[in-house]
Structure 1
Amino acid sequence: MRASRLLSALLLLQARGRMTAQELADELEVSVRTVYRDVESLSAAGVPVYADRGPAGGYRLLAGYRTRLTGMTTAEAESLFLAGMPDQAAELGLGQVLAAAQLKLLAALPPELRDRADSIRSRFLLDAPGWFREQASPPLLAPVAAAVWEQHRIAVRYRRWNSSEVDRVLEPLGLVLKNGTWYLVATAVGSAEPRTFRVSRVLTIEQRESFLRPAGFDLAAHWETAAERVETTLWRGRAKVRLSPHGLRMAFLLGPVVGRALRETDHSPDGDGWTTVTLPIETNRHALHSILQLGPDAEVLEPVELREMFAQAAAELARRYT
């Protein structure tokens, strides 16, 4: 543990130049007194580290000194694909590993490229979860991720969309983070095609024997096909809706599938300034709860059954608030 911390301190000084004892302590999550001892150990080992006195002082390496101890471990190399998502890396149990890998990369870069990398990092940030959604890590994400890494089967109890529970033995092929939600792509034993499971609905998990991953399986290609199939399967219905100008602007609340349909539709306002559009819907019940978000800025014209549901809901709301 201490050897790893000494190497981290050395790489920090190489990557960032002068650092105060407090800055090193904050980065290494130790006390300032521990930093003093670590610097003395580095110096005793022949590392040319010295201190500048005064308010603007700190520790730094002798100009031109560079260590070659920047080789990455296997886990650090595997974590680099999550370099833009530190929170998600932490959820997978790779937070510290990713930080170590990034530090080693910075230390290995020449000064001009290191400055460029720092500049990009200070200007761009990937925040995967959507707005107005509480980010909650599924409690069993770590063991599910371990099964993906290590290629072993898992026996799980899974809660389906209708709240029923089933037992499955799965061969996990990959994890996908979609709009802040983790999904497991896996093949159930006895089934031929991979399916998608929401990780937060995995209730229990038990590690089983290892399995052979299908040759040529492409997670990205599979997910693209599966996502298209889900949209085609779920969004079968259509509803004709009139939207006020404000309702048209707020239609993003209805989700990305509806938003894409609106972008592909010609918007021609009528004499009242309202626009009639055809929206994809899952079911009439789902459409009722979804379109109600727009309040009086939306009027459902078709199908008749859905319009009647809105009339009943409006009457009930009027009775409740009268």
Structure 2
Amino acid sequence: MRADRLVSLVLLLRQRGRLSADTLARELEVSTRTVLRDIEALSAAGVPVYAERGRHGGFELLPGFRTELTGLNHDEALALLTAGLGRGEQVFGLGSALASAMRKVVDALPDSHRATASDAVQRFLVDPETDLLSRRLAIDEVPATTMIEVRRAVLAGHKLRIHYAAADRTPKWRTVDPIGLVTVRDKGYLLATMSGADRTYRLSRILAAQELDEPAQRPDRVDLDQIWQERSTQFRTGGDDQVTVLVRVDPVRREELVGTALAVLAEETDEDGWLRLEVTFQDSRHAEWAMWQLSTDAEALSPQSLRTSLRDRAAAIATRYDDAS
């Protein structure tokens, strides 16, 4: 365990430069005292790690220091192979590259690890194409040529020109500053800015793309997880088309309702035990779809326009299945 930790410590310093003892302790999930002991052990073994004093100090390797620390233990190889079972690489157009990389990882393993890792990974299945009800999971399709241009612009830090088809709008060209790519439940998104304003684009709606030579206006380092959380909050709380609905729902279906809503604004329990919630949806179509899924286990109390659309839809279904007709 300590040998693996020492290797990880050296790799962290090689890849990220100067790091404080507290930062190293968090990354390695050990105490600061353990980090200091490990630093002493590395120095004694001839690894040129030194301490920089001061407010912005920390530990650092001598510039240009390199050593071969590429061996994978069994669990590390298994983690890589398991990661390859997901479909994020399909969303970003990296499927063939990942398959090639996985073959190289397996080939590079020692004989004793290769057999056990290959057998173990057969025991894991990540995100199959269908769920238990045999419903196929929808995966965003993005043309390979388009995805290549988007990916190149993101990695190179260049501006990107995209032909984008927003929902219910005529496609048009726009030039953006790409920040990063995110995949959520087999849907891919491009995080970018345009004229300084935050923008989020669904990859499947990018009809064509062109990487430009001009550098993108963006920070050198970003926290994509934080940016995604912020934009998710903006999406849930903003938008002119959002609709607020007052709903009565059977408690057994509460989580299903909450899972489809953007936000829950208020909640209380009625005398009969049903729950009364005030929730928001993306638009009226989203609200009607969500309420329809709950059937008679929920009732939309307002707005009246939603009650009317649900009534008309139910009446049309009843007429369709009326034996007399």
**TM score, norm. by length of structure 1:** 0.59
| C-alpha displacement of 1:100 | 3.4
- Structure 1 vs Structure 2 CA RMSD: 3.9
State the Cα deviation string for residues 271-294 of structure 1 (Å, max 9, x = none). Answer: 4x6544443323344312321222
1:238 counterpart residue number: 244
2:301 counterpart residue number: 301
- On the 8 A contact 1:156/1:169 being kept in 2, the answer is yes
Amino acid at match of 2:311: A
2:261 counterpart residue number: 258
Q: Which consecutive residues of structure 2, in runs of 5 or more, have no partner in the other structure?
A: 1-67, 72-79
Amino acid at match of 2:156: E
Larger Rg: 1
- On the 8 A contact 2:247/2:299 being kept in 1, the answer is yes
**How many residue pairs are counted as aligned between the two chains?**
239
Q: Does 1:227 align with 2:228?
A: no
1:50 counterpart residue number: none
SS at match of 2:197: coil
User: Hey, what's the Cα distance between the residues in 2 that align with 1:230 and 1:148?
Assistant: 23
Q: Does 1:145 align with 2:148?
A: no
User: Hey, what's the Cα distance between the residues in 1 that align with 2:235 and 2:99?
Assistant: 36
Amino acid at match of 2:125: L
| C-alpha displacement of 1:176 | 0.9
2:127 counterpart residue number: 127
Q: 1:87 to 1:291 in 2, by over 3 A?
A: same
2:179 counterpart residue number: 173
| C-alpha displacement of 1:206 | 2.5
1:100 counterpart residue number: 100
SS at match of 1:197: strand
State the Cα deviation string for residues 200-243 of structure 1 (Å, max 9, x = none). Answer: 11122223214155223222221111111111225964323233
2:169 counterpart residue number: 163
- On the 8 A contact 2:243/2:282 being kept in 1, the answer is yes
User: Hey, what's the Cα distance between the residues in 2 that align with 1:113 and 1:259?
Assistant: 46
Q: Percent identity?
A: 31
SS at match of 1:194: strand
SS at match of 2:196: coil
| C-alpha displacement of 1:261 | 5.0
Q: 1:111 to 1:163 in 2, by over 3 A?
A: same
**TM score, norm. by length of structure 2:** 0.59
Q: Which consecutive residues of structure 1, in runs of 5 or more, have no partner in the other structure?
A: 1-67, 72-79
SS at match of 1:123: coil
Matches within 5 A, 1:63-74: none
- On the 8 A contact 1:250/1:294 being kept in 2, the answer is no
User: Hey, what's the Cα distance between the residues in 2 that align with 1:311 and 1:93?
Assistant: 44
Q: 1:81 to 1:196 in 2, by over 3 A?
A: farther
Matches within 5 A, 1:1-322: 83-85=83-85, 87-90=87-90, 92-110=92-110, 113-114=113-114, 117-118=117-118, 120-127=120-127, 132=135, 133-139=137-143, 140-188=146-194, 191-212=195-216, 213-234=218-239, 237-244=243-250, 248-249=252-253, 252=256, 256-258=259-261, 261=264, 271=272, 274-322=274-322
- On the 8 A contact 2:246/2:302 being kept in 1, the answer is yes
